[in-house]
Chain A
Amino acid sequence: MNILVCAKRVPMTGGTIVLTEDEQSIQTRHLGFTISPHEECGVEEAVRLIEANGGESVVLALGPSEAEEQLRDAMALGVDRAILLETADEVDGQATAAAIVAAIEAERAAGVEFDLIFFGNESADSGNYQVGIRVAHALGRPCVTGVKGITVQDGRARCEQETASGRDVYDVPLPAVITVKEGLNLPRYPSVPGRLRAKRKPLAASAPERRDAGVEKLRLRLPPGQGKQAEILGHGPEAAPAVVEVLRRAGLVT
């Protein structure tokens, strides 16, 4: 079985998010980069499924050349190889999906068919909820979103979705596209041998064809509540009643 995981390089933000002066992006001068927690679960799921079933796992990112760092991180966890679609600018969901579809078709032309394609449910930075569904639609494959449990058997995937009232279960034939959510599994840490192996694993970089964006970004705005200070309820044992009151209001104690 072959699995493709798509992941996006996003800033690892601290307590306060600061925007660049032109309000077009997050100020990343002091920040490291990562992939979103959803996608970490996608990588982990792919590695586990390949470990169990055999086959090949591939990680794909669309972004700046520095996204190689995130691809190597994924390969350190066990993914076999990586595809980097290099873009200088930020690309909207529609163009991203088109570029990924083109890459998948190129893989197919080279003889690689992906039985499963994982996306994070939404990216950690822009959160557009677009790419997975668009790719599935373009490829004509079934798509299950917001998945927190996957079982693959006999050419079908059983996907569990958490809902307000319980669980919805979808049973889809492979090949399929699944967008996953944090909680799907507990991702492993990379081992040192894994890190060293990742340095030598293949990474194919190419520049996707430029496409017009369907969405235009005007500017970013910080949501209210940013930078809220902690409230000190008290010190020592005297603080206990105030803490109990907070828990009571939250409905955690009665």
Chain B
Amino acid sequence: MSDLPTSARAVVIGAGIVGNSISYHLSELGWRDLVLLDKGPFPNPGGSTGHASNFIFPVDHSKEMTALTLDSMRQYQDLDVFTESGGIEVARTEQRMQELHRRMSSAHAWGIDRVSMVTPAEIKQMVPFIDETILLGGFSSPGVGVVDSLRAGTIMRERAVAAGALTISANTEVLGVDVERGRVRRVRTTRGDIETEVVVVACGVWSPAIAQMAGALIPLTPAVHQMIDIGPVPRFASSTRHIEYPIVRDMDTFMYERQDGIGLEIGSYAHRPILHDPEEIPSIEQAALSPTELPFTQADFDKQMEDALELMPEIVGDESVGVKYAINGLLSLTPDGMPLLGETHEVRGLWSCAAVWVKEGPGIAKAVAEWMTHGESEIDLHSSDIARFWDHQKTRAHVRARTSEGFNKTYGIIHPSEQWASNRDVRLPPFHARQRELDAVFFEAAGWERPHWYESNAPLLEEYADRINQREAEWDARWWSPIINAEHLAMRDRAGMVDLSAFTIFDVAGPGALEAVQGVAVRQMDVPVGRVVYTPVLTPGGGFKADLTIMRLDDELFRVVTGGAHGPADRKWFADRLPQDGSAQIADLTSAWTTLGLWGPRARDILGSVTRDDVSHEGFRFGSCRTIEIDTLRVLASRISYVGDLGWELYVPIEQGQKLWDVIAEAGRPHGLAPVGIGVYGTTGRLEKCYRAYGFELESEYNVCEAGMAGPKVKDEDFVGKQAHLRHRDEQPAAIMCTLTVDDHTSASGVKRYMLGREPIQTRDGQPLTDSRGRRSYVTSAGAGPSVGKHLLMAYLPPEQAQVGAELAVEYLNERYPVTVAVAGSTPIFDPDNERIRS
């Protein structure tokens, strides 16, 4: 073993699949003087990679996770460590059958066509030792396979060493990570110190402990996944390959069974959540097996043995087949189930590449290496960005609460709108007491409790009975209410008030403030004081990093307002690009200001009745903001709209929020003002106006021209992504954002169905639509358009299909429904000339 260098360009800590892969990908991208450390020996230092089941099912409902998994599979295949076995997810219940149909549609949406639904008899053909009589059917994925993750890691590590880019050091424990002025400076180890400005924490279940050394938080918890290996199985005795039968996921029991040589491995996500603390994990010396293979707790597995016996009686019920290996294997769980990637909020140069499983490891490593090199990755990682967490979401108690709740959802049926039950009521807006009085149904956003609709608005259902449809299927109606549509219509007819407390608000201030926002925003920011600018924020490659509004409050003061969920990442994006000379600073005011939206044809009448300031169309133009007096409050009013009606966002210091609510509610009473939930603000109102939302329509994989958001001209000043944006303007867009209407909702069984989003868009005869950049067309957002009387879908379509009137189809739960393109581009389907907003 060579001596450790005293300095390095980057130090990667952890030599599991992730650390090895990222070392390799950094070296491929030209990084040199890399060091890879692990406290354990090579090739298996004792982390979760060493006991991983190593199988890969590519289809996930998450587009991001599917893309990362598919890229990983390609890498494993290139390394020649992938064995295709096929895999079947089997259903014992009707609910699961519907879920598997949904899997089919997700597969098609993400471009995986080699999948099919199979009957119990067909399952029996493929897996002769299964009792198919207890099954209703299955989802077969022939591309499923098993990898040798230790071998893959070894090959990648050795390639990086052979390239002269990497020094490796096993049995080297990290003692400290030194930080100076917010930036990583060195890593202290049992073999000496290494000066470095970049550290990658790829330590799996130990990552929080390593990050803590630098003062950063990586919110994951080590958790137990139980597995046993039984054998020798007589049927497998003559196997010539490691795996010859498809892997079976027994979804309803949260278990899987797979051949492993002459044995059968049985794994479970069904037992009670068993969480550990990183500090509690035994050392290599103390561990009976490895540090992440903890003693098996039999009682937690009793029920699972019965379930396995029921499914595979021939093997599991064989008295000659013994339980040869049984562990409580440790893996990483996060509060929302997604990985933790990117530079940490707390420390510059400290990168997290944690909570990554074998199936997505190499793909994630490649993407993070790209991000470290180019400032962005080919695959959009926004759902995995560690910057997505607010402070309270990084606490041990929150992580444990959410992972305890989430563990049994690993194989669960998760509705797209499903809400967490644990650790709620953390961030309460000042309106909360009033909202409770109004029987608000709360959804969580970034820890905020936000009314999604108000049960007190139920009487509106009667008023709009002829314009509101119920949803017949329980799945479509779950986490939904027709009251949302009634609130929408009341807002369009009269006025609605919306709690927007979840906004992330931060000020960019100082002599360099203009330069700071100018360099990030696509739109011209050198505007008169009192203007509000809605602008895309781009990645270097010209994809979407964010979309947000910026108010110029003074010559040297800009207030940025963005969504709650992506707020921390957006704030970091601005903070990372402030002028080097310190001439601009960022102050987060999210917890200082609250926001109440007031929109609808009566909005001016209502606001005018409680202020002496001029709120006329001429006196308070669209796209402007200024402080007005409302009753006894000084309120920053901003005349913009995300729902397509006349109105304002009203900002007050948070402790005065309830007063503002009361004043507006009282003033609105004679005008029929209704409180309106996020169901209207985020979906129905937005979709009728064809407004795009970050994380749905807007991702780094799409550009401004494709989204139909290019301005008439490009500002002279430089901004991130400008060169790419100019190039995109010269090209024909590969896809165009469209709004489609559903022509017929009736399913084969005669039930009216309503798409929820993320479904594939196809030709009427079921052919997938793929644009010239290889991207499938899928529904980015779906929801009702109560004012236009249609169910609306948004999707990027190839130019040939992006024509008004084009007849296409949407696949929902594995059935096709006819749809028609209503809008190609950004013209709203409701009030196309924006007369309401500008009235």
Distance in Å: Cβ of B457 to nearest Cβ of chain A: 53
Chain A residues with CB under 8 Å of B296's CB are: 32
Is A18 an interface residue, CB under 8 A from the partner?
yes
Contact of A193 with B309 in the complex, beta carbons under 8 Å: yes
Contact partner, A190, options B288, B309, B322, Cβ 8 Å: B322
Chain B residues with CB under 8 Å of A141's CB are: none
Is B282 an interface residue, CB under 8 A from the partner?
yes
Distance in Å: Cβ of B255 to nearest Cβ of chain A: 13
Chain A residues with CB under 8 Å of B321's CB are: 191-192
Contact partner, A192, options B230, B285, B295, Cβ 8 Å: B230
Q: In the bound complex, what is the Cα–Cα distance between A194 and B295 (angstroms)?
A: 20
Contact of B294 with A30 in the complex, beta carbons under 8 Å: yes
Contact of A14 with B305 in the complex, beta carbons under 8 Å: no
Within 8 A of B (CB), among A177-212: 188-196, 199
Q: In the bound complex, what is the Cα–Cα distance between A230 and B319 (angstroms)?
A: 40
Which residue on chain B has the smallest CB distance to residue A187?
B322
Contact of A31 with B295 in the complex, beta carbons under 8 Å: yes
Contact of A189 with B324 in the complex, beta carbons under 8 Å: yes
Contact of A191 with B288 in the complex, beta carbons under 8 Å: no
Contact of B318 with A16 in the complex, beta carbons under 8 Å: no
Within 8 A of B (CB), among A149-192: 188-192
Within 8 A of A (CB), among B272-303: 280-289, 294-296, 298-299, 302
Contact of A190 with B323 in the complex, beta carbons under 8 Å: yes
Contact partner, B305, options A12, A16, A195, Cβ 8 Å: A195
Contact of B298 with A192 in the complex, beta carbons under 8 Å: no
Q: In the bound complex, what is the Cα–Cα distance between A12 and B298 (angstroms)?
A: 15
**A33, A189, A192, A227 pick with most chain B CB within 10 angstroms:** A192
Chain B residues with CB under 8 Å of A2's CB are: none
Distance in Å: Cβ of A67 to nearest Cβ of chain B: 13
**A13, A31, A33, A191 pick with most chain B CB within 10 angstroms:** A191
Contact of A13 with B305 in the complex, beta carbons under 8 Å: no
Contact of A14 with B282 in the complex, beta carbons under 8 Å: yes
Interface extent on B, as a size class?
A: 20 to 34
Interface extent on A, as a size class?
A: 20 to 34
Within 8 A of A (CB), among B305-345: 305-306, 308-309, 316-324
A13-B288, A15-B285, A16-B286 known; A193 vs B319 contact (CB < 8 Å): yes
What are the interface flags for A21-32 relative to B under an 8 Å C-beta threshold, 1 for contact and 0 otherwise?
000000001111
Contact of B308 with A14 in the complex, beta carbons under 8 Å: no
A72-B298, A191-B320 known; A14 vs B288 contact (CB < 8 Å): yes
Which residue on chain A has the smallest CB distance to residue B317?
A193
A12-B288, A33-B295 known; A189 vs B282 contact (CB < 8 Å): no
Q: In the bound complex, what is the Cα–Cα distance between A190 and B282 (angstroms)?
A: 27
Contact partner, A227, options B280, B285, B317, B322, Cβ 8 Å: B285
**B281, B319, B322 pick with most chain A CB within 10 angstroms:** B322
Contact partner, B323, options A14, A31, A191, Cβ 8 Å: A191
Q: In the bound complex, what is the Cα–Cα distance between A32 and B285 (angstroms)?
A: 15
Contact of A189 with B322 in the complex, beta carbons under 8 Å: yes
Contact of B322 with A191 in the complex, beta carbons under 8 Å: yes
Chain B residues with CB under 8 Å of A199's CB are: 302
Chain A residues with CB under 8 Å of B324's CB are: 189
Distance in Å: Cβ of B171 to nearest Cβ of chain A: 9
Contact partner, B288, options A31, A69, A195, Cβ 8 Å: A31
Q: In the bound complex, what is the Cα–Cα distance between A16 and B283 (angstroms)?
A: 9
Distance in Å: Cβ of A59 to nearest Cβ of chain B: 16
Contact partner, B319, options A12, A29, A69, A191, Cβ 8 Å: A191
Chain A residues with CB under 8 Å of B306's CB are: 196
Q: In the bound complex, what is the Cα–Cα distance between A209 and B245 (angstroms)?
A: 56
What are the interface flags for B671-699 relative to A under an 8 Å C-beta threshold, 1 for contact and 0 otherwise?
00000000000000000000000000000
Q: Can you pick out 5 interface pairs between chain A and chain B where the beta carbons lie within 8 Å of each other?
A: A14-B286, A30-B282, A31-B295, A190-B322, A193-B316
Instruction: List the interface of chain A (C-beta within 8 A of B).
Output: 12-16, 18, 29-33, 69, 72-73, 188-196, 199, 227
Given A14-B286, A195-B298, 13 more A-B residue pairs with CB atoms under 8 Å apart are A12-B295, A13-B288, A14-B282, A14-B285, A14-B287, A15-B286, A29-B282, A30-B280, A30-B282, A32-B295, A73-B298, A192-B230, A195-B302
